[in-house]
Amino acid sequence: MNTIKRMLALPVLAAALLVPAIASAQAVAPLTEGEVRKVDQEAGKLTIRHGDIKHLDMPAMTMVFTVKDKSMLAAVKPGDKIRFAAVKEGGKLFVTEMQPAPQ
């Protein structure tokens, strides 16, 4: 189990270095501050305690988001402070981008 996670982590980390440059060029949703509460790698879901999301007209709360790409989840664990981009598509909320919050 742990070995598989480690094998997955390396390519994900490499991709994580490349993706922000591409993502910022086509940034659609502004980033929201949040704290990871739960990671469901299998389902591709993430529970985040987030601050106000103005573009979605949503107050601060704890809720579940689906990630656009399951590999995004390998880089986070409960307790991590993050910044993320959330978009609404077909009535569902997705996280399209995630980065560590500045210290």
Chain positions contacting Cu ion, by CB under 5 A: 58, 61, 63
Least Cβ distance, residue 48 to Cu ion (angstroms):
8
Closer residue to Cu ion in complex, CB, 23/51: 51
- Return the structure tokens found at 15: 């991709």
- Please answer whether residues 86 and 53 qualify as being in contact, where contact means their C-beta atoms are separated by less than 8 angstroms: yes
Closer residue to Cu ion in complex, CB, 6/52: 52
Least Cβ distance, residue 61 to Cu ion (angstroms):
4
User: Which region holds residue 91: left if phi is over 0, alpha if psi is between -120 and 50, else beta?
Assistant: left
